[in-house]
Structure 1
């Protein structure tokens, strides 16, 4: 199974305030913006491309969303690192076979059609990782 960095999720209080750094300093381009109202997600997302790298700026849409809780506990900054895999179901099984645990309630398909799940940070020395795949991969 190949693992390729897909994007880095950055928790921000305000996408509007954060975007100028990514656009003006890093010379990125805003590729997409969308909102997820899925219970347990509740986030505005801005997808920024910078020289072949993708950042997702994550702004909470309510005080109880996971991103809002993250910002309260750890502050703004890197929320997760996402790895793209060819077959998400196989990647999940391979990781489970190695003793990796998942945040089971995070398995979903997002607004851009990406299937994803987060690994339990207890299995990764505290770092939140996402595994994802796209339709047609």
Structure 2
């Protein structure tokens, strides 16, 4: 990677810091999504051991596959756990290819369209288009082959949880594209 010396500064530890860049648009981590092998065991861990409140459970169905999910919160910290319902589902394929664990990190932004546009210009690929629902806008990046990370960029306008229509749209887009 070539570094333009006008935009960067090299520190003693070998860390490069961009000095003229626009600050990232991220406000906070909205939630962390985990792919699990057994949702009931995950629910027991989050509720009984870690003390999180179970906010909602969902069963999402696409055209041919589905997933089960459970949303948890404690003191503003949010987790969503997901389990595929068939071996072909996106979550099942994610677990098969990457193992259980991190599905994505959701970063809250003011403007999802603007953030996606800027990140695309910088080379980030996306598995979905921008998904819009009442009070909630979101988009999902492709999984990085180096870090294994996928990001959701999310903007909430009155919606604290997740919108069923958004989840359905997400699931259908991933199902159509074969992404996980």
Asked if Structure 1 and Structure 2 have the same fold, meaning a TM-score greater than 0.5 normalized by the shorter chain, the answer is yes
> Is structure 2 residue 98 aligned with structure 1 residue 67?
no
Q: Secondary structure at the match of 1:117?
A: strand
Please, which of 88, 96, 111 is the counterpart of residue 120 of structure 2?
A: 96
* TM-score computed with the length of structure 1 as normaliser: 0.83
The equivalent of 2:151 in structure 1 is: 129
2-structure distance, mates of 1:126, 1:85: 22
Structure having the higher strand fraction is 1
- Provide, for residues 70-94 of structure 1, a one-character-per-residue CA deviation record: whole Å limited to 9, x for no partner: 1112221111111111211111112
Q: Decide whether aligned partners of structure 1 residues 86 and 37 sit closer, same or farther in structure 2, where only a CA change above 3 A counts.
A: same
The equivalent of 1:6 in structure 2 is: 30
| Structure 2: segments with no counterpart, 5+ residues | 1-24, 160-180
* TM-score computed with the length of structure 2 as normaliser: 0.65
Higher RCO by CA contacts (8 Å cutoff, separation 6 or greater): 1
Please say which of residues 83-92 and 93-102 is displaced more in the overlay: 93-102
2-structure distance, mates of 1:50, 1:41: 31
1-structure distance, mates of 2:140, 2:95: 18
The equivalent of 2:131 in structure 1 is: 108
Q: Decide whether aligned partners of structure 1 residues 31 and 117 sit closer, same or farther in structure 2, where only a CA change above 3 A counts.
A: same
Cα RMSD between the aligned structures? 2.5
Moved over 6 A (4+): none
1-structure distance, mates of 2:60, 2:135: 12
2-structure distance, mates of 1:71, 1:14: 11
